[in-house]
Structure 1
Amino acid sequence: MDTPSHDSDQTPAEEPKADPKDSPKVDTANPGKRKRLLLIFAAVLVVIAVLYFIYDSLVLSKRVTTDNAYVAAETAQVMPLVSGQVIAVTVSNTQTVKRGQVLMRLDDADLQIAVAQAEADLAGAERRYGQTAATGDALQAQANARGADIGAARAQLLLAQGNLDRAQIDYQRRQALVAAGAVSGDEVTAATNALRTARANVAIAQAGIAQATATRASALEDRAANTALTRGTTRDNAPEVLAARAKLRQARLDLSRAVVRAPIDGVISQRNVQIGQRLAPGTAAMVIVPVDQLYVDANYKEGQLQHVRVGQHATLISDLHGDDVVYHGRVVGLAGGTGASSALIPAQNATGNWIKVVQRLPVRIALDPKELRDHPLRVGLSMDAEIDISGDR
């Protein structure tokens, strides 16, 4: 059986030819143009690098910036200086107040009683001083009277001495006549008794002089003691009067403190007092933030502080007002330590796996009060701070 024969001359199917339009075009016609483009691109990069170097040398290197800055202020704590029950509160949180404006009132009934008592004590002290001065004059009069008593006692002594001399002579005469029997015994006895009486009267007169002298000395001592209480003083500057007057001033001062006033201009914050509440001296009632006396604490990295000095000028931008409002300030001080060093538990890096962490130091920048009035800020807001250090380089 014949098998069909195969044509050995049969050619394989031809592969489809690629379309020349589908192959990528290679610009081999103008290689110089591509070279010029590369040179222009390289020149642009060099110019940009040079411009950045110049900008960094002339501008960036003379300024240090940070966005880790926040608004702060020296707030005023409002607290009563006397105890009492709150009967009125005239302000609320976010309210703007002026210095001297009434913030709250305390019940002053007890304080008014204290003022009345102090006034009575002052009047009593003035009267006691007047009484002491009058007593001194009376004691001087008594001393003068005791001097007159001494004169009277001396006169009595002279009289008694004269009676004694007369009785002595009478007694001697009768005693001389006793031997002759010219006088009776009764006469001698009477003369003897008269002599004794005269002597006793002399002794009494001498004792009267001594008593009058002692009384006058006592009166003079009383006068000296009284004079010591008023010497060099008047009713206006007597110590007791001054003490009573000081107590009266204190009572009046306490009465005035029943009305609590704003110590500074600012905005009320953290008000935590209500009507009817009884406050003790020193109890924090509210806080006043002086919005026109704000400053910024900018936390700069330690590597940025080499040329930062007090007095350098700074510009600041707040997130609140945006880039359209630029604040101007001045560096007034650098903190004495970093925030980590001032923490309750300072960081301890004495470990084997210690990793250095760049520290930040607060730099205080005072703001222009006029700019603050035109564009108010609030404590705690974020700021971008830039300090011009060109003057230190």
Structure 2
Amino acid sequence: MNKRILLPLLVLVIGGFAVYGLMTGRPVPEPIDSPAGPATAVDVFIATPESVRLTVSSQGTIRPHRAIDIVAQVGGKVDSVSDVYLNGDFFTEGQQLLRIEDADFRFAVIRAESIVAEAKELLATIKGQALQAKREWRDLGNEDANALFLKKPQLRAAEARVAAAKSDLSQAKLSLQRTVIRAPFDGRIEETLVNLGQYVAPGAAIAKIYATDKVEVRLPLTDRQIALLDLPLRYQNSEAALSPTKVELSADFGGQRWQWQGYIKRTSASIDVQNRVLYALAEIDLPFAKDESNRRPPLTVGQFVEAKIEGRELDNILLLPRKALQPGNLLWLVDADDKLQSLPIELIKSTRQQVAVRAEVAGEVRVLVSALDYYVVGLQVAPKAINQPQSLNSATVLTDTNAPVLAADPQAEEVIGE
């Protein structure tokens, strides 16, 4: 073989073996465990699932349960007024409020009585004539008598004239009675519209009044709030009794906070098209009665009140600080090994301070309330409890006294059930 070819080939073979030896014979580095960093310190809230009864906040203005205008049914000059015929005064059912001058109506009664007497006299005369005609016809020996001869049409006309005269007399007496205007129910005068010596025409309003047996307040509710309540929603084809929903009303008066107990017995017939809310109508019985146990003032029509509506009882609920809720409706729990675990939940209610969530957990859990730069399942943390375990029961109520639902802004309290 030619040395020019053999020598380069030999060099390549030797070089190849040398490279292979260097590659396979170098020492392999052994892995060294790096020291673990300190666990992230976090705050946790200890919570236990309970059965809780939530409340919904709303507010509204007191208005009469029944309000009407008293209207004069006859015309005339106001002859006298009652001592209670004053703005803001109270009256009882059947009490006289004012009287219209009745001289003309008494004269009308006398004239009507005279017409009745004349009609009765004419009827008696025609009855006598009819009896006499019947005798004369019988003496003629003919059984078929002529109705006109027997005065039957005249008799019917006379009887109708008596009935009409009596009707006119009843109308005159009724008009005389209507000169005295009485209260149709126990109530209060909101505004007087006429006074002593003034002439009123038939159909003219003389006063605005309202009943005092109860008052009501319209409480705006969103559909998300309604989902938390057992409202007495009516069905057309149902005669079942509706259970009223309790509501506590409160208002400030004289530098103090006062409460009244009411009940929601019905709702409005339609949803408000402007703000998309349904109004619950709460009734308060005897709002003007004096409470002997304290110096609580009476409710006043037009007064602004705040309401706490009792909701339905919900099971398996966690009550947590608002900062425990993480984006995506998630809770982050710290397990027994102090590692993070994610928990999907159903957000039931949220206020500025608290949230109520439904979650499938068994027993006590530790809920992360600290903000982290990132959240990773299995992240090692060093938890610190910021509270003692909750001890709740079925009477637990979540309220938000700082965020009532405004009539103009029914979303002020955030209740999430979508």
**Which of the five TM-score ranges fits, normalised by the shorter chain?**
0.5 to 0.7
1:365 aligned residue: 282
Q: 1:69 touches 1:299 (CA, 8 Å); kept in 2?
A: no
**What are the ranges of 5 or more consecutive residues in structure 1 without an aligned counterpart?**
1-34, 148-212, 342-346, 348-357
What amino acid is aligned across from residue 291 of structure 1 in structure 2? T
Q: 1:96 touches 1:266 (CA, 8 Å); kept in 2?
A: yes
Q: 3-state DSSP class of the match of 1:336?
A: coil
Q: 1:140 touches 1:223 (CA, 8 Å); kept in 2?
A: no
Point out the structure with the larger helix share.
1
1:363 deviation in Å?
Answer: 0.9
Q: 1:285 to 1:371 in 2, by over 3 A?
A: closer
What amino acid is aligned across from residue 202 of structure 2 in structure 1? P
**How does 1:121-140 map onto structure 2 within 5 Å?**
121-140=115-134
**How does 1:210-225 map onto structure 2 within 5 Å?**
220-222=145-147, 225=150
Aligned mates of 1:392, 1:368 — CA distance in 2: 30
Aligned mates of 2:220, 2:77 — CA distance in 1: 44
Q: 1:78 touches 1:287 (CA, 8 Å); kept in 2?
A: yes
1:317 aligned residue: 250
2:269 aligned residue: 336
Q: 1:79 to 1:102 in 2, by over 3 A?
A: same
1:139 deviation in Å?
Answer: 1.0
Which of 54, 61, 65 aligns to 2:57? It is 65
Q: 3-state DSSP class of the match of 1:270?
A: strand
2:355 aligned residue: none
1:376 deviation in Å?
Answer: 2.3
Cα deviation per residue 1:326-383 (whole Å; 9 max; x = unaligned)?
32222121112344x3xxxxx6xxxxxxxxxx53322101213378553521211111
1:71 deviation in Å?
Answer: 3.7
1:391 deviation in Å?
Answer: 5.9
Aligned mates of 1:93, 1:243 — CA distance in 2: 43
Q: 1:329 to 1:224 in 2, by over 3 A?
A: farther
Percent of matched pairs sharing the same residue: 24
1:291 aligned residue: 212
Aligned mates of 2:186, 2:65 — CA distance in 1: 13
Q: 3-state DSSP class of the match of 2:214?
A: coil
1:73 deviation in Å?
Answer: 2.5
1:260 deviation in Å?
Answer: 0.8
1:239 aligned residue: 160
| TM-score (normalised: structure 2) | 0.54
1:228 deviation in Å?
Answer: 5.6
2:187 corresponds to 1:254 = no
Instruction: Kindly name which structure, 1 or 2, has the bigger radius of gyration based on alpha carbons.
Output: 1
1:302 aligned residue: 223
Q: Aligned residues, how many?
A: 258
Q: 2:230 touches 2:312 (CA, 8 Å); kept in 1?
A: no
Point out the structure with the larger strand share.
2
1:226 aligned residue: 151
Cα deviation per residue 1:276-316 (whole Å; 9 max; x = unaligned)?
22212221111122233211211223321223411222222
| TM-score (normalised: structure 1) | 0.58
1:230 deviation in Å?
Answer: 4.8
**What are the ranges of 5 or more consecutive residues in structure 2 without an aligned counterpart?**
1-37, 233-243, 292-296, 316-418
2:194 corresponds to 1:273 = yes
* Cα RMSD for the two superposed structures: 3.3
Q: 1:313 touches 1:388 (CA, 8 Å); kept in 2?
A: yes
**How does 1:1-393 map onto structure 2 within 5 Å?**
42=43, 46-47=45-46, 50=47, 58-59=52-53, 62-90=54-82, 91-147=85-141, 220-222=145-147, 225-227=150-152, 230=155, 238-306=159-227, 307-310=229-232, 311-320=244-253, 325-339=258-272, 341=273, 359-369=276-286, 372-374=289-291, 375-390=297-312
